[in-house]
Amino acid sequence: MISGVLLLLVLPLAMAGIVYILLRWLSSLAALLSVGTALGLGLAVITLPLDQPVQAWGGRQIAMGEAVTVFGRELVFEQSDRMAMAFLFFTSAILFLLAWRFAPQTLLFPMGLGLLSLLCGTLLIRPLIYAALFLEMAAALSVFALQAEGRSPTRGGLRYLTFTTLAMPGILVTHWLLERYAVTPDEAELLTSASILLAISFALLLGAAPFHTWVTAVAGDSLPLAGTFVLSVGNGAVWFLLFDFLETYPWLSSHPVFDFLIPGVGLAMVVVGALLAAAQHRIGSLIGYAALVDSGAALIALGMNNKLGVALVFLSLAVRPVGLILLAAGLSGLRARSGGDDDVDALYGLGWKAPWSTVALIAGALSMAGLPISAGFIWRWALCRALAPSSLGTALFLLVAGVSVMVGVWRSLSSLLRRPRSPEDRSVVSLAPSEGWLTALVVIVAIAASVGVGLFPQVIAPLADQLAGTYTFFLR
């Protein structure tokens, strides 16, 4: 019998090796294998039963729910992990699909699969604190994917690695503090210390203000789709880990500081992101600040401390990758035609040469700004409506933040869509765009998915609600 848990950890790693070998000669096959692996594993985690083994090849059986012990640490796949794992795998599959057209022959494919294995380990290992070690390894591995070949080292990878390293001790030491508290329950300061350590660690991992510098650095100067992998898949794993912590240690969410700390930090992120997004001259940095606003909004939702808030966080996690992936794909296409520069001035007239990249950029920006007919709208609007009766100011801040992101995008668009002119002052627009029909098709499908989610939120909203129902930490 094969343990499903081991399969989730080993298969992506094995495929990462194969993909790495294939990448040099058969990059399309490598990309499609990555898509297939992520998609297959995603389907496996949501369809295979946990309580009974299923028949696989050669009479072998796969037991998804069977726990595995490695060096005394247990790896368990529980019902509540299903959606989280499915999120990781499906988001990665979409990312790999876009990367096939916009960032072929990059290390994103093998490293992304390796990261998937480590992030699965993060969610499956018990006790939870050891997840910090897996996260740290994932951060170190992601440096290889974030670095574009032939370019100077990115600050993003290093900063991400640094902040994750600084976050790790806090989570590890928490376990020891809790063990001491179990022996001496009268020492309440142990719980306070553990709460402070966990709060700081998760603030570092989520890029909460003032620890947000890695978010903008990762988005600004890394390989765009790899940056998106970190900001959506990696960040998603951290969110799910945070929920597991809140669920496992109920005293954490019931701590009096929790009531104002979480929404306060979230609001700070929204304000910082909104103020700086509109002032950005580079699209990469703009994406970083847009992601910051989105994460801040998610923290505000979590701060509501009820089922609706948790459901909105899950909804945000589900739709954020749509916007980020489209933005990153668009940015990749534009950077490829501007010599790697994404400054507004360097993008002059590129919208006519790379129309599909430009369209992807616009669609992604709409979603990240939370504007109507986009995936991002469904949760931002719901959050604003939920906040309006009790906290109208916060709701208004969120709306203004969305507009601020669009102002930043508008500045880029004004340069992108300016028609190049000949010395005779005639418009010279190439009639044959340099992007192939396959790229156009992939972009159209991704945009259709974004618009589809925006128009029919009832498809995924119940899933978020259902997932929120599996957590009980806010019921106090």
Partner 1 sequence: MPTLLDLVKSVSFLAAMPAVAGLLITAGILVVSRDWRLNVIALTVQYFFVVLLLTRQIHLEVAAVKGLVGWLICMVFYMTERRADALERPAEAEKVSPVQRWRRWAMSARASFSLLAVILITVAAYTAALRIPLPETEVPRDITLACYILAGLGLLLIGISESPMQVGLGLLTFLSGFDLFYVAIEPSLAVAGLLGGVSFLIALAAAYLRTVQAAAAAGEGEA
User: Residues interacting with partner 1, by CB under 8 A?
Assistant: 70-73, 130, 133-134, 136-137, 140-141, 143-144, 147, 149-155, 157-158, 161-162, 165-166, 168-169, 172-173, 175-176
Q: Which is nearer to partner 1, 340 or 462 (CB)?
A: 340
Q: What would the DSSP string read from start to end of 96-138?
A: HHHHHHHSTTSTHHHHHHHHHHHHHHHHHEESGGGHHHHHHHH
Residue nearer to partner 1 on the CB measure, 156 or 454: 156
Q: What is the CA radius of gyration of the chain?
A: 22
Phi and psi of 343, rounded to 5°? -70, 150
Instruction: Tell me the closest approach of the beta carbon of residue 226 to partner 1, in angstroms.
Output: 13
Which residue's CB is nearer to partner 1, number 175 or number 418? Answer: 175
Burial level of 475, CB count in 10 A (0-12/13-18/19+)?
exposed
Minimum distance from CB of 158 to partner 1 (Å)?
5
Instruction: Tell the smallest beta-carbon distance from residue 148 to partner 1 (Å).
Output: 9
- 239: Cβ–Cβ under 8 A, 6 or more apart, which residues? 206, 298, 313, 317
Provide, rounded to whole angstroms, the least separation between the CB of residue 244 and partner 1.
Answer: 18
CB of 368 to partner 1, least distance (A): 28
Nearest to 367 by CA among 277, 454, 441, 275: 454
CA 80 to chain centre: 19
Task: Look up residue 290 and give its amino acid.
Answer: A
Minimum Å gap between C-beta 203 and partner 1 is 17
13, 195, 268, 391, 474 from 255: Cα distances, Å: 39, 8, 20, 22, 11
Provide the token pair at 159.
Answer: 């900063």
Q: How far is the CB of 176 from partner 1 (least distance, A)?
A: 5
Give 3 or 154: the residue with its C-beta nearer to partner 1: 154
Least distance (Å) between residue 74 CB and partner 1: 11
Quick one: 103 or 143, whose CB is closer to partner 1?
A: 143
Nearest alpha carbon to residue 68 among 120, 138, 124, 134: 124
Nearest to partner 1 of 165, 472 (CB atom): 165
CB 219 within 8 A of CB 307: no
d(CA 317, CA 239): 8
Q: Which is nearer to partner 1, 87 or 134 (CB)?
A: 134
| Degrees, nearest 5: CA angle 137-27-448 | 85
* Minimum CB–partner distance for residue 27 and partner 1 (Å): 20
CB closer to partner 1 out of 90 and 130: 130
- Angstrom distance (rounded) from CA 245 to CA 73: 17
- Give which of 299, 145, 304, 122 is closest to 208, Cα–Cα: 299
Please state, in angstroms and as integers, the Cα–Cα distance from residue 440 to each residue in 52, 102, 333, 422, following that order. Answer: 43, 11, 11, 28
**Alpha carbon of residue 273 to chain centroid:** 17
For partner 1, give the closer residue by CB, 154 or 228: 154
Q: In angstroms, what is the minimal distance from the CB of 71 to partner 1?
A: 3
Closer by beta carbon to partner 1, 151 or else 426: 151
CB of 457 to partner 1, least distance (A): 40
**Residue 144 or 348 with smaller CB distance to partner 1:** 144
Rounded distance, CA 343 to CA 282, Å? 4
